[in-house]
Structure formats: C-alpha cells, structure tokens
Amino acid sequence: MHPEALPSLFTIAASNTLAQMAVGLVPLASLASAFSVTATWPWTPEKLPLLAVLEPVSEQPPTAADRKRAETMSATRRTTQSLRDGELAALTGEIATCRRCPRLVAWREQVAREKRAAYRDEEYWGRPVPGFGDPRARIAILGLAPAAHGANRTGRMFTGDRSGEFLYAALWRAGIASAPRSRSRDDGLRLSGAYITAAVRCAPPANRPAPDERDNCLGFARRELELLADVRVVLCLGAFAWDAALRILAPAARPRPSFAHGAELAGAPALLGSYHVSQQNTFTGRLTEAMLDRVLARARELAELPVTAPGPPRRRRR
Ligand code: SF4
C-alpha cells in the first residue's frame, strides 16, 4: 500500500467502527486495541470530530512496489536537478563571455586596466559577473549591477566592497552564508537557500545602466530564475532591481506596484523590496542592520525556510 493511502483508509476504518459503536455493535474496549486514542473522554456527539486525532498503533510496512516507486521518483528528481545544475553552469559561462553592450564592455575593461591604487597588484576580473549561490535556492537576491572595484574586480556578486560586507554579514546572521565576509571568488564561502544575482552583469559608469543595456541583460536573470526552480521569493535590492524583477515576472501588472522598503507583491515567486545595501544608504542610516535583518527574516518566511540562529548555515535535508 502506498503510504499516502494510509490516512484516508484509516479515516474510513475509524468512522465505520465508531458508527458501529454508536449503535452498540462494537464494544468500547475494542477501540483500544485498534487505535491509540488521544481525544478526550467521555465520547459525546460533539466530540466525534476529534477523531481526527486518533492514531493507528501500527502501520503497514511499505511493499516492494511502494519502495520501487519511491526510488524511481527520487531518481527522477535527482536527474532533473542535475540537468538544471548543468544548465545553470553553462549559463554562467555564457554570461561571463558576453560583449553585447559596447559602452559597458569598454568601461568594465578600462576599470580593470587602470585599477584603483589600493588594488594595483591584483588582477581584475573585468568581465560580466555571473550569479552566485545555492542551485536549490528558495530566495533569489537581485541587485542592480556589479561595482567597478567590487564584483568587477573579484568576479563574484557583492564581493570585495562595503556593500558586500553589509549584505554578507546580514546573510550570515540569517544563517544563509557560511561566513560573515566575502573576500574573493575562492574564499570558500557558501550560501544555503539563496542565490545572488543582478539585473545587469557589467559594471556601469556611475552605477547607471542605460535602458537598452538593462534590456540586453535582463534575459540572463530571467533564465537564471527559470533554472532556479525552487525560488519562492525574489528579494529586490533597490528600485532598479524591483523594476527589473517586475519586467521579468509581472510585466503586465497594472497599476505598476511601487517600490518601497518592505514592499511585497504576491506571486510565484513573490517579490520583496529592500533598500539597496549601497554605502549611500548604509552610511546615512537609511538602511540599518536591523532593517535588513527584518527583511531577510520576512524573505525566509515567504520562502518557508525555517528561521535559524545566526551563524553558518545548517545542512538542509534534500
Ligand atoms: S551588461 Fe549584460 S548584456 Fe551587456 S555586455 Fe554585460 S553581460 Fe552582456
């Protein structure tokens, strides 16, 4: 018998037995041998609905056919996931080699050549920055674009600048990041339950991509979200990301939902807004640690990820 069939059969058995008991065909004592009774005593007609809490003393062990079916379903899930992982890896490679926007290609490469004095001995990434995180993520975090001397230098989203320090510390407190800092592509940092990406993948001058550059690039985030099939909420960092997420997920929404810190739009996935973690916001107190912690707690709630104590992520059961 398939395990899922047990509750309904059990309910029928319980109802039949109680109906017989009610007309005196079954002695009360026989119930004790059939069920573990956790409802209150004595029985009254009003309390009959409480039979939902009756539990069988023993369950039928799964048959060989049940086990075979479960194994087949689990193998299919694993195959689907590994196909998606492969496509996500291929997409990462495609993003990193894109040269579609001439202005942004010129800028990202110029910054990588000229460098900031503090990083003059480093080799800049100088290319589009792919997404980073857990392929089974339930939370997608969408930013604006890589920072010229942050992700454009290190090659990983929000890595190597003050914005990233603020974000990853919060992700660590939320039990999502394995460490409170993100320094380089090979620092061993892991995310559990979240994937970080951006609307535009090349560092734009003055952090302002042009509309055509945004439209050129949005297809990458769209494809990532399609491959991240478990995502239940997209956390948008700032109004640009909120607008980009609407263009991908709810292009027909009218009136157009406005961005605000804490704004939500129900859907599959849902959208959740937060002020961006830029220094402009964090240095001025517009976005505080407590505010970001609350937004992340809400994201976890919408994603149905259990709330955990601060620190390294716990292993999830697959
Ligand atoms: S912004 Fe996007 S579309 Fe434009 S060159 Fe960079 S990766 Fe390609």
Q: What is this structure's pTM?
A: 0.76
Q: What are phi and psi of 58, to 5 degrees?
A: -135, 155
Q: What are phi and psi of 132, to 5 degrees?
A: -145, 135
> Could you tell me the distance, in angstroms and rounded to a whole number, from the CA of residue 253 to the centre of ligand 1?
26
Q: Is the CB of 200 under 6 A from ligand 1?
A: yes
Whole-angstrom distance, CA of residue 253 vs CA of residue 40: 51
73-113, pLDDT tens digit by residue?
887 877 777 888 889 999 999 999 999 999 999 999 999 99
pLDDT band at 141; cut points 50, 70, 90? very high
**Of 192, 152, 157, 164, the residue nearest 176 (C-alpha):** 192
Specify the pLDDT at position 67. Answer: 83
CB of 313 within 8 A of CB of 179? no
Is the Cβ atom of 213 under 6 angstroms away from ligand 1? yes
Q: In sequence order, what are the residues at sequence separation of 6 or more whose Cβ sits closer than 8 angstroms to the Cβ of residue 178?
A: 172, 188, 189, 190, 191, 192, 312, 313
Choice from 91, 99, 218 to test ligand 1 binding pocket (greatest atom count within 8 A of CB): 99
Average of per-residue pLDDT across 130-142 = 97
Question: Is the separation of the CB atoms in 232 and 298 below 8 Å?
Answer: no
Distance 201 CA to ligand 1 centre (A): 6
User: How many angstroms separate the CA atoms of 274 and 41, rounded?
Assistant: 52
The atom number, within ligand 1, closest to the CA of 95 reads 7
CA–centroid distance, 194 to ligand 1, in Å, is 23
Is the distance from CB of 2 to CB of 66 less than 8 angstroms? yes
pLDDT in tens, 42-76: 333 333 333 333 444 456 788 888 888 888 888 78
Segment 188-204 mean pLDDT = 98
What is the rounded CA–CA span in Å between residue 9 and residue 259? Answer: 50
- Ligand 1 binding pocket includes 202 (Cβ within 6 Å): yes
- Comparing C-alpha atoms, which of 103, 144, 151, 143 is closest to residue 127? 151
Q: What is the pLDDT of residue 307?
A: 61
pLDDT in tens, 276-288: 999 999 999 999 9
Number of neighbouring beta carbons within 10 Å of residue 140: 26
Ligand 1 within 6 A of 219 CB? no
Nearest C-alpha to atom 3 of ligand 1 is from which residue?
A: 217
| The pLDDT of residue 252 is above 80 | yes
Distance from the CA of 163 to the center of ligand 1, in angstroms?
A: 22
CATH number, span 82-303: 3.40.470.10
78 C-beta closer than 6 A to ligand 1: no
Q: Which of 101, 214, 215 to mutate to test the pocket of ligand 1 (most atoms within 8 A of CB)?
A: 101
Span 196-202, average pLDDT: 98
**What's the CA gap between 97 and 128, in Å, rounded?**
7
pLDDT confidence of residue 15: 37
What is the band of 4 on the pLDDT scale with cuts at 50, 70, 90? Answer: very low
Per-residue pLDDT band at 305 (split at 50, 70, 90): confident
- Identify the bridge partners of residue 272 per DSSP, sorted by sequence position: 235, 264
* pLDDT at residue 267 in the model: 94
Q: What is the pLDDT of residues 11-43, one digit of tens each?
A: 333 333 333 333 333 343 343 333 333 333 333
18-23-29-35 Cα dihedral, nearest 10 degrees: -10
User: Is the shortest distance between the CB of 217 and ligand 1 below 6 Å?
Assistant: yes
Helices (H), the chain: 6-22, 28-34, 64-96, 102-114, 151-154, 162-173, 211-227, 239-249, 279-282, 289-302
Cα–chain center distance at 310: 17
pLDDT number for residue 102 = 98
**Rounded alpha-carbon distances, angstroms, from residue 142 to 146, 152, 262, 288:** 11, 16, 15, 19
Q: Are 239 and 262 in contact (CB under 8 A)?
A: no
Range of weakest confidence among 2-11, 173-182, 252-261: 2-11
- pLDDT over 70 for what percent of the chain? 78
* 205 alpha carbon – ligand 1 mean position (Å): 13
Backbone angles phi, psi at 198, to 5 degrees: -150, 160
Ordered by start, the domain boundaries in the chain are: 82-303
For all residues of the chain together, what is the average pLDDT?
A: 83
For 236, phi and psi rounded to 5 degrees?
-95, 120
Percent of residues, the chain, with pLDDT higher than 90:
68
Would the pLDDT of 289 be above 60?
Answer: yes
